Structure 1
Amino acid sequence: MESLWATLGVVAVVVIIVFVLVALFLAVKLVRKHRQVHQPDTPVPAKVAYWLSLAYTVFPFDLLPDPVYFDDIVVLTGGLIYVSKSLTRKTREAGQPD
């Protein structure tokens, strides 16, 4: 029985480390996207997606109970992916002659 608790402890530590690493990665991405989103030519839907995903992550309402941050990570990642694709599309369209 002691071996089971030791194994569960190790798994819990690994899960926490993974969550911390993902959170740090998302924080860096968030700062970089923040600078890009505040450009005047950024499309409004990209700005809205950025701010809504950030608000969902920060505010206390959740789809899953609060100790589980999986939904926050998914929503923030989805918002950042949408903003990245939107900005890439905007850059590609700006480079094409009319």
Structure 2
Amino acid sequence: KRLAETPEPGGGAGETLLDNTTIIWTNELGQGNSHTLENIPFVVVGGGLGWQMGRSLQYGKVPHNRLLMSIAHGFGHKVTKFGNPDFCGDGPLPRLTV
């Protein structure tokens, strides 16, 4: 809430710190009680990567390496792999940018 209420110094009219911030939250397990390694949630907040916000996307059985590639691309680093290349074959995730 505070980021959304704070004007961006030197930013455009109505631009806030949240518009230029990226916050990523995740959990190391899909379900804590059974310690599954599937369906691990990732929450991305803020407009700092130029992604379209305010929606929920489901990608199914997609390695998180592709999300990490998407984050790197958002920061201007056009990597072709992140971590194990076997999990990066289809590149960054689609449908993230505006």
Same-fold call, TM cutoff 0.5: no
Query: What is the TM-score of this pair, normalised by structure 1?
Result: 0.27
TM-score by length of 2: 0.27
Higher fraction of helix:
1
More strand by share: 2
Larger C-alpha radius of gyration, 1 or 2? 1
